[in-house]
Structure 1
């Protein structure tokens, strides 16, 4: 006798469903029970799972794809920016920035901080003397100001902020950071790398209830992510307080996203314990949805401040001293970090933006694997510049290329990079095609709030296909031979980042037994002109079978 089909809670039918499953890439219906996909297949087959209590959604031919997975995001910084802070666009010029600071400050008390972002790298590069700091003082009415740049590695602060930081004309630079001075030795207010942490600490000291602020910031970030169809993410640098806030949301049943945390092993731009202390604390903050399974290791800086580690010298167009950038680790030190990852069973996300730092990671992983065999998952963020000799090593070593397409399409950041990085190196950047063809896992992420004011995955996905900025005011393409197909780019935003962060058996594909994380789109991304991919909008987002966003909701 035929068996009775298991009943489902939710039946999604009448759809065109891309499953990201190579064995069965297309389906018509999904049956969901208890937040898990019970069956995926033809509409007439799955209709048997319906019973009187089943909720049925007929999508009238709309495209459904797996819930998107953001492999690189900063939830606390991004959520705080969205919930509390002065919004700046990376395209804002200096007069625009000062005008926005002036208007924002007018609503504040005399000692309240003006905190905001994101400041374009090209503007940051213009802040070369004391007069720029004094202009910020005037715009803010003498208030403390902290403005973050589009890399989140650097800050611009006012005189009052410097005073609260305890920084004066004779203050030595921080280890791993710099208080930028003009030709006469006067502070410009620009802070590079870990000098920014001192500003963040001074601001944090002014917040009456930082725990409540972080909780609201993280909750805001999750809502925004859901509105773009994102149902899982890897937090790229997770301090203890945001990790606790995420776990608190999960305990209260309010977390509508899976989050894998990456814990810094050395002092970072945000406050809090790092390394062994943070890893020990994380053991009490682990749940089904919150997984502190990675560490974060920062090997270099960013090319705009000439702190990315390159194999050949930077340009010296403005009389700067010759340099190839800076490596924060020796090979022996990095091998020790990789060994600790093996010992602890933790993966690692390595910030390595230059071809020299990328090579150092690959060398360290190769050396440890030769002794101990395959180990935890390792990712290199942001795989911006990779020497051709190192491209096949990603697949050979099982190292994931953590791609950040929002950072590379022609625009403000690339304009700034072109001032410093040799042209042929820039021309060969973001080699996604070569990495995919070599068998490497390419996992995309927004790096929100860096580079763009939202984590919109569709702008990044479109750029992976077109290698162009979706803004028609910004012409040109960047290394167009490295373009991916729509299916490859969508895989880089679904199955691959899920695999890279250890959730490949849970989400990223629509197959029976995986979580019912999926989104309904307003267009068929496989059929539209690639130049229109960036305009894709999410009609509905389902997380574990729950509807957590609809287009009818107000914009996040």
Structure 2
């Protein structure tokens, strides 16, 4: 028996298969909890040893009990806003359906309220870069300003009223970073690429009467959604100071039902506010029991769909991204990085000198290599202490696969795109065919000894942060939706146990929470979930339909399913 001491437990869980994810005891008959922590795990007789007269019994019939899941890459605030306040557009919608949804949503708003929402899939987004589409959006919006996000979260579609608010006309179309797409006559068509998206988000923010009150509600809604799918620990992938304040305020009020690890941006990306060292220096005072602002965030490139990722081999010669070849480039075009080598090393030094770690967005093989080269320098200077994540390593050169393990770099395997989707169809139109044959090389990375930790990138990649779809498709590399047949780089599939670990203990380790959550063993937070099925007795193609009957965080039940 594993026990901390012989004090009576508050409650004991038994009656169902319990998958602990503890290598020393993967399965157990029961476990006991006291003061929000696991105090005993083992056979029924062993755990009964810590029961007292007031110890409650939580008896689970059927299904399976396991630790709460860990999402290593999500956008908590944005997700809560999208779920609670915004126009939700399934990424499968075409232009006419999107316009109809905008029209219906606008009817319920005030005259000056923004229509804000997403997601517009990349193929549809690319088709909207013309004046005809802008006129249709103007008509559908009933005079309200509109801002719709694409599936990368890097770009926006806005209408003429929004452009008026942003001060955009034919003479101002090239901000410092990114740009406005224009037609052949030089007129903006309402497509924002990169930095102007931040300007639009800020304009929406300025229009709100009580932004902090709404942020509190949005954060609680987001965590509730995560709890409903079994997630009890989240790494927020781009955490501004205002959101850290929201999370800690909720935590101090005992209203935050998840661990949240913050990733503080090095530069403005989507939201405005202090960034870089001005933000990093506030990490200590913004820390609370369950809020850990322990990472910095650097975005080294964009996304392949809009030819803003940086590759070692050039893009296909005929661009289909809006506006043609970016920045006036002609093929061969490899994409441009957003950090020089010197700037990246300075960012990592800024982080490490403050006791922080780094999550680095790098989607293509050239920027992945740039990160690995920088980490090699940091390892020589600082040893094994700092933690480094490469977020979205969709494309990794074969020569660099083993370097993840050699340099102890976490593969943040997010978003959920390792199966056929419209987004991957859009990527295939841009990159050379050999890249798609090795997209998301999860098996190679795992076999080489790299730590693979999974995330949802909600709400960018998915309407809900569904880890069960993610787990299933890590194993099958196929979509459960028959509308998208076939598989994607099937030789990169993982086995079920490895996929589950990528969504639990691996994520906890990657986020610095390995001693707090991710498995059921004595001393760990009592974060656990009750499922409607045993995953190991379920055909893998049915795992996406898994339902969470109960979610418990720190010994408190925070979700009960229907």
Structure 2 distance, partners of 1:451, 1:333, is 29
Paired position in structure 1 for 2:488:
478
The question of whether the paired residues in 2 share the 8 Å contact of 1:17 and 1:65 is answered with yes
Structure 1 distance, partners of 2:194, 2:413, is 21
Paired position in structure 2 for 1:362:
372
Paired position in structure 2 for 1:543:
553
Paired position in structure 2 for 1:516:
526
Tell me the CA shift for residue 424 of structure 1: 1.1
Cα distance per residue 1:499-538 (max 9 Å; x no partner): 0010001101111111111101111111211111111111
Structure 1 distance, partners of 2:218, 2:505, is 27
Tell me the CA shift for residue 283 of structure 1: 2.5
Runs of at least 5 residues in structure 2 that lack an aligned partner in the other structure: none
Paired position in structure 1 for 2:285:
284
Structure 2 distance, partners of 1:43, 1:174, is 65
Paired position in structure 1 for 2:16:
15
The question of whether the paired residues in 1 share the 8 Å contact of 2:415 and 2:461 is answered with no
Paired position in structure 1 for 2:124:
123
The question of whether the paired residues in 1 share the 8 Å contact of 2:469 and 2:544 is answered with yes
Secondary structure of 1:455's match? coil
How do residues 407-418 of structure 1 correspond to structure 2 at under 5 angstroms?
407-418=417-428
Structure 2 distance, partners of 1:213, 1:8, is 39
Structure 2 distance, partners of 1:228, 1:519, is 9
* 1:419 aligns to 2:429 (yes or no): yes
Structure 1 distance, partners of 2:157, 2:282, is 32
Paired position in structure 2 for 1:92:
93
* 1:57 aligns to 2:67 (yes or no): no
Tell me the CA shift for residue 135 of structure 1: 0.9
Structure 1 distance, partners of 2:87, 2:476, is 32
Paired position in structure 2 for 1:443:
453
Query: Aligned-pair RMSD on alpha carbons?
Result: 1.3
* 1:459 aligns to 2:460 (yes or no): no
Tell me the CA shift for residue 368 of structure 1: 1.9
Tell me the CA shift for residue 176 of structure 1: 2.3
Tell me the CA shift for residue 44 of structure 1: 1.9
How do residues 316-465 of structure 1 correspond to structure 2 at under 5 angstroms?
316-318=317-319, 320=325, 321-322=330-331, 323-465=333-475
Structure 2 distance, partners of 1:225, 1:469, is 22
Cα 1:408–1:121 change in 2 (3 A) is farther
The question of whether the paired residues in 1 share the 8 Å contact of 2:303 and 2:363 is answered with yes
- Which stretch shifts more, 463-472 or 367-376? 367-376
- Which stretch shifts more, 453-462 or 403-412? 403-412
Structure 1 distance, partners of 2:546, 2:296, is 33
Structure 1 distance, partners of 2:185, 2:533, is 57
Tell me the CA shift for residue 184 of structure 1: 2.6
- Which stretch shifts more, 454-463 or 270-279? 270-279
Paired position in structure 1 for 2:141:
140
The question of whether the paired residues in 1 share the 8 Å contact of 2:129 and 2:190 is answered with no
Tell me the CA shift for residue 354 of structure 1: 0.6
- Which stretch shifts more, 104-113 or 389-398? 104-113
Tell me the CA shift for residue 390 of structure 1: 0.4
The question of whether the paired residues in 2 share the 8 Å contact of 1:413 and 1:451 is answered with no
Structure 1 distance, partners of 2:47, 2:413, is 37
The question of whether the paired residues in 2 share the 8 Å contact of 1:405 and 1:463 is answered with no
Paired position in structure 1 for 2:155:
154
The question of whether the paired residues in 1 share the 8 Å contact of 2:474 and 2:499 is answered with yes
Runs of at least 5 residues in structure 1 that lack an aligned partner in the other structure: none
Cα distance per residue 1:6-57 (max 9 Å; x no partner): 3100100122111111221111111000011001111121122222211211
Structure 1 distance, partners of 2:335, 2:536, is 41
Tell me the CA shift for residue 108 of structure 1: 1.5
Secondary structure of 1:367's match? helix
Secondary structure of 2:533's match? coil
Structure 2 distance, partners of 1:89, 1:4, is 51
Name which of 503, 506, 528 aligns with 1:493.
503
TM-score by length of 1: 0.97
What is the total number of aligned residue pairs between the two structures? 550
Cα distance per residue 1:421-480 (max 9 Å; x no partner): 111101201011111111110000000001210001111111101101111221011001
How do residues 526-537 of structure 1 correspond to structure 2 at under 5 angstroms?
526-537=536-547
Paired position in structure 1 for 2:258:
257
Structure 2 distance, partners of 1:518, 1:444, is 18
Tell me the CA shift for residue 405 of structure 1: 4.8
Structure 2 distance, partners of 1:158, 1:38, is 57
Secondary structure of 1:125's match? helix
Shift >6 Å, 4+ stretches? none
Secondary structure of 1:468's match? coil
